[in-house]
């Protein structure tokens, strides 16, 4: 498969370049630049009507002048995967324009023996990577469309249900790329999926209404992620079972940071901050359901 089509355009987000561009520009202009330039971001991957405004706070922290390669780590929703997989496509199509995949980097990653390949149907069924493609190219629209349009590539990575040991392995692999300011890591993740349809109804009445309990649960996890401690995040997940769908991509990022800190080769202070939080619905009864969204940025000082 040479070109992966924009299989979710027209349903999860607009397939009109004009309409899509207007939406992205609005969300980006609404957000403040408070924690950048980002070396990595965490942003949601739901339909844009639900999470587009939240995502804008993460992408607002990105500097297109610096970035030359974008790694997009998205969780696998449809296939069982014990490791990570790369795309066989050479281009990803979007309603705005096509994005070039760094095939040379794919080949180098394959030599580690830790990656497999997605087939075309798996690639196009998955939304966790695709939902970030329009946003990743639209930061400062004039720059992306003209001067910098052809100066960067993407590396889509489908992340499976990794053990903590596996997260550490991939963290070490990606750490050298994270250390390079010309690389941007996009960590694709929604937060708590709450309700019977998600088979998760954790509710601590000491925290108030159900939606307030969900927010406290998410905020607890977000506070732990900000400490950049992968073991603490793993312990949090074991304790609460929070249905953060991108927990493994987040775990890989935390392990990459940990690997840089451990090696002492980076020489920079790293800081991760959450900038925005939202819920698709405020749950007040056990028959309700919602999905949470959060935006964060990692900087090197």
pLDDT at position 264 over 80: no
pLDDT at position 292 over 70: yes
What mean pLDDT is predicted for residues 279-301?
Answer: 97
pLDDT-derived band of residue 146, with 50, 70 and 90 as boundaries?
Answer: very low
Comparing C-alpha atoms, which of 216, 219, 222, 203 is closest to residue 284?
A: 203
pLDDT tens digits for range 116-141: 999 888 888 889 999 998 876 555 44
Q: What is the pTM of this model?
A: 0.94
Structural domain that includes position 246: 3-300
Most confident segment among 5-9, 22-26, 89-93, 246-250:
246-250
Overall residue count recorded for the chain in this entry: 301
pLDDT tens digits for range 16-52: 989 998 899 899 989 999 998 999 999 999 999 999 9
pLDDT at position 209 over 90: yes
When divided into structural domains, the chain yields a total of 1
User: Would you state the pLDDT for residue 123?
Assistant: 85
pLDDT at position 98 over 90: no
pLDDT at position 159 over 50: yes
Question: What is d(CA 217, CA 194) in angstroms, rounded to the nearest whole number?
Answer: 11
What mean pLDDT is predicted for residues 238-266?
Answer: 93
Q: Which CATH number does the domain housing residue 210 bear?
A: 3.40.830.10
Q: Is the dihedral of CA 121, 124, 129, 133 positive or negative?
A: positive
């Amino acid at each position: 498969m040479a070109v992966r089509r924009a299989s979710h355009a027209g349903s999860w987000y607009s397939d009109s370049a004009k309409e899509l561009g207007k939406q992205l520009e609005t969300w980006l202009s609404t957000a403040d630049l408070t924690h950048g330039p980002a070396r990595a971001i965490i942003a949601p991957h739901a339909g844009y009507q639900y999470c587009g405004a939240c995502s804008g706070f993460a992408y607002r922290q990105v500097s297109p002048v610096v970035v030359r390669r974008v790694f997009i780590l998205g969780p696998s929703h449809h296939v069982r995967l014990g490791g990570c997989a790369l795309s066989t496509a050479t281009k990803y199509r979007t309603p705005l324009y096509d994005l070039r995949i760094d095939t040379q980097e794919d080949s180098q990653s394959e030599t580690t023996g830790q990656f497999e390949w997605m087939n075309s149907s798996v690639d196009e069924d998955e939304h966790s990577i695709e939902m970030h493609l329009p946003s990743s190219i639209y930061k400062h629209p004039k720059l992306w469309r003209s001067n910098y349009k052809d100066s960067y590539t993407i590396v889509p990575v489908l992340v499976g249900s990794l053990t903590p040991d596996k997260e550490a392995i991939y963290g070490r692999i990606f750490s050298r790329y994270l250390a390079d300011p010309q690389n941007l890591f996009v960590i694709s993740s929604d937060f708590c999926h709450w309700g019977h349809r998600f088979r998760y109804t954790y509710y601590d009445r000491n925290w108030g209404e159900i939606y307030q309990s969900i927010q406290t649960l998410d905020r607890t996890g977000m506070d732990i992620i900000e400490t950049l401690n992968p073991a603490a995040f793993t312990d949090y997940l074991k304790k609460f079972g929070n249905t953060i769908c991108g927990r493994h991509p987040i775990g890989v990022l935390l392990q990459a940071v940990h690997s840089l800190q451990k090696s002492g080769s980076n020489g920079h202070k790293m800081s991760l901050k959450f900038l925005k939080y939202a819920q698709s619905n405020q749950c007040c009864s056990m028959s309700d359901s919602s999905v949470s969204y959060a935006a964060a940025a990692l900087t090197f000082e």
